[in-house]
Amino acid sequence: MNPDCELQASHDNETVCLTFLGSWTIHVTPCGFPDLTKLFSPQTKRLIFNSEHLIEWDSRLLVKLSRITEIADKHSIEVDLKGLPSGVRKLLRLTQKKTFAPPDRTFCPPGVLEEIGNHTIGFYQQAIDMLAFTGDILLLYIRFFTGRARYLKKDFIYFLYDCGPQALPIVALISFLVGFTLAFIGSVQLRMFGADIYVANLVGLTMTREMGPMMAAIIMAGRTGASYAAQLGTMQVNEEIDALQTMGINPLDFLVLPRLTALIIMMPLLAICADFIGIIGGFFIGVFSLDISPILYYEQTIKAIHLKHFLVGMIKSVVFGYLVAFCGCIKGMHCGRSADAVGKATTSAVVTAIVFIVITDAVFTFFFNVLGI
């Protein structure tokens, strides 16, 4: 255990002598010190120090001395540092040496009103950025279809593989469980009316029109959308995007085109798989829990699902694919240049994509209903 630190004050006519005793380090328990504000009388002209009994010191001593010298300066008292260890004297001099001009304004945490204002401006700016990015993507596809876009085909193939076959196991697992749960919940209600067989309709329609495309999109938002934002954000931090621009390569062509196109192509395929596997999940409950014959369940499912239901799901999944890739890419491309900014971009990409997916799904459902599809 370190010995405690102590400060003693002695007065001699116009001089005050402060004696430091013990171990003045940040790891010792502080003990009573004289009240610094009452240390000096109007007669005091000089302050001296005694460090003969000082065992060891670090920042704790420096902080104390800074405080004492500040008070002495206020009382216009001459401070004589001779009695202090030479290292302490040097460090005190170093603290008074100005290298950088003190900032003309300090960074204070914003108040509530300022915070609301910042968020409003930020929200408005994001909306403008998204519109601009949508326009950029339109131009990007004009360049692509006219053969003027510069990108690597191997990148495109890699992203096709990454957001297709690589994502399939997790999409399959979640879709199976969604179909399974739907059938289970539905069967409890339908059994009350003796309409167990309609579980096949419920699962088939829900999976093809809603849950298949939506679950695939939500999984891809968390998996691929986040990865796009993190990849592009890190490239922004490492100035890789600047390097592309200075070479005259449009980063949108090179980075966004393969990612966006790959996800737009792969999302409907994943949705088809999700539909099918979800129906199988429902089939398990129908056959093993409700004792519906497999043939009957199959025929009921075929009878319930029409081509239009399937196409509704496909249209949704193409749009969801675009939204997930769009959110991932825009957040990555507009990311700040720090590790913290990459984290925020990734979170924002996932949250924005999921919100857009749910809103778009509601809009689609409303319009298809109005159109009688």
Partner 1 sequence: MTNITPLIDVQNLTMAYGDFILQKNLTFSVKKGSIFAIMGESGCGKSTLLRHLTGLKRPAAGDIYFSDKNFWQSSKKSRVQRMQKCGVLYQSGALWSSMTIGENIALPLQQFTSLSPKLIAEIVELKLALVGLKGFSKYPPSAISGGMRKRAGLARAIALDPEIVFFDEPSAGLDPISSRMLDDLILELRDSMGATIVIVTHELPSIFALADDSVFLDTETRTMLATGNPKILAKESDNLKVKQFLSRSLSPTEQP
Which of 65, 305 has the CB closer to partner 1? Answer: 65
Which of 38, 98 has the CB closer to partner 1? Answer: 98
Integer CA distances (angstroms), 280 to 95, 181, 214, 311, 322, in order = 73, 12, 17, 20, 27
Q: How far apart are CA 131 and CA 164, in angstroms?
A: 28
Q: How far apart are CA 169 and CA 70, in angstroms?
A: 68
Integer CA distances (angstroms), 341 to 54, 115, 117, in order = 47, 18, 21
The closest alpha carbon to 183, from 60, 58, 84, 280, belongs to: 280
Closest approach of partner 1 to the CB of residue 88, in Å: 8
Which of 61, 160 has the CB closer to partner 1? Answer: 61
DSSP string across 30-59:
B-----GGGS--TT--EEEEE-TTEEEE-H
Residue with tokens 């960074």: 107
Query: Which chain residues interact with partner 1 by CB under 8 A?
Result: 25-27, 58-60, 62-63, 66-67, 86-88, 90-91, 94-100, 102-103, 106-108, 336-341
Furthest-apart CA atoms within the chain: distance in Å: 110
> By three-state DSSP, how is residue 80 classified?
strand
Report whether 336 contacts 212 (CB < 8 A): no
Which of 38, 97 has the CB closer to partner 1? Answer: 97
Closest approach of partner 1 to the CB of residue 197, in Å: 56
Which of 109, 194 has the CB closer to partner 1? Answer: 109
Which of 13, 86 has the CB closer to partner 1? Answer: 86
